[in-house]
Amino acid sequence: MTAETLTISGLSKPASRIALGTWAIGGAMWGGPDDANAARTIEKALELGINVIDTAPVYGFGHSEEVIGRALQGKRDQVILATKVALNWQDGKVFRDSRPARIEQEIEDSLRRLRTDCIDLYQVHWPDTKTPLEDTARALEKLVKAGKVKALGVSNFSPAQMDEFRKFAPIATIQPPYNLFEREIEADILPYAVKHGLAVLAYGPLCRGLLSGRMTADRQFEGDDLRRTDPKFQQPRFGQYLTAVEDLKAIADKYGKSMLALAIRWVLDRGPTIALWGARKPEQISGVDEAFGWTLEEADMTAIDTILTRDIPDPVGPEFMAPPTRS
């Protein structure tokens, strides 16, 4: 399969417009780790033409990075390796921390776990309002100059925060939540990215599985599954979102595509976007090729908006996932 690609400033190779998201590979909040399947998932992604792997230290408290590091031995030059910085944790509780000392520690930990000497894309995971953005940006720019990082990105930043960061270091990417059901970035972040030439790494394009087309109303979420606290998965909203998915399938059928492919294609048609397709088993990324090689007609974009307005009278965003600031 030949994947569609997008150029990211500062990187020498074009990025596939679908990336492998590895939060679930870390295990935490996703039912525990499954390393053998995780390794096979990474191998399958490469076979399908995906060359961007996105991770973070907080995914399994380092476990996702370790699994990826092992899986990429002998294949490191095939991928754009993206990880993050500026979340800390204590006793399993996560909080924002982008102090220079934390960054200096995290880069060394990530390089070791990923078994590499350079990270292609290093992203600030969440803005830390207790640390001046100048301090954070200058600390990250030092890593670029030292050859430990090729390009910088931010995640969950507002345009104002990006403006402040860019006074001291360049940004190549922004990573916000974005999918058919969570569209807040269309008001400000997406136009900002277009204006400033940033690639948008859209996380959650399948909205925690809601847009996979495989979820049913009797689905139970157990243990530490984050969907137990996601308002979208609580009734009556859960039923409303599932109704919308059923209605959206009619548009997917028009193109001879799956619901999953429609959800990804919609993200790819909205701008300079890369969809972060999360998976922990090889079969969960089957169908990637369905999302490439076609576009949604404008009339169908309008029909999608009509379905969402009709079926979901009280939509909610992904705010529940935001970690707290430092105490």
| Sequential DSSP letters for 6-39 | E--TT-SSPEESEEEE-HHHH-TTTTS--HHHHH
- What is the Cα–Cα distance from 247 to 316, expressed in whole angstroms? 19
Angle at alpha carbon of residue 319, lines to 318 and 320, rounded to 5°: 90
Q: Return the exposure string of 254-272: e unless at least 16 CB atoms fall within 10 Å of the residue's CB, then b.
A: ebebbbbbbbbbbbbebbb
Instruction: State the amino acid at position 77 in one-letter form.
Output: D
Q: Which member of 59, 122, 178, 203 is catalytic? A: 59
- What is the Cα–Cα distance from 120 to 51, expressed in whole angstroms? 12
CA 111 vs. chain centroid, Å, equals 20
Based on the residue annotation, tell me whether 178 is a catalytic residue of this protein: no
- What is the Cα–Cα distance from 172 to 8, expressed in whole angstroms? 6
- What is the Cα–Cα distance from 89 to 72, expressed in whole angstroms? 26
Active site residues: 59
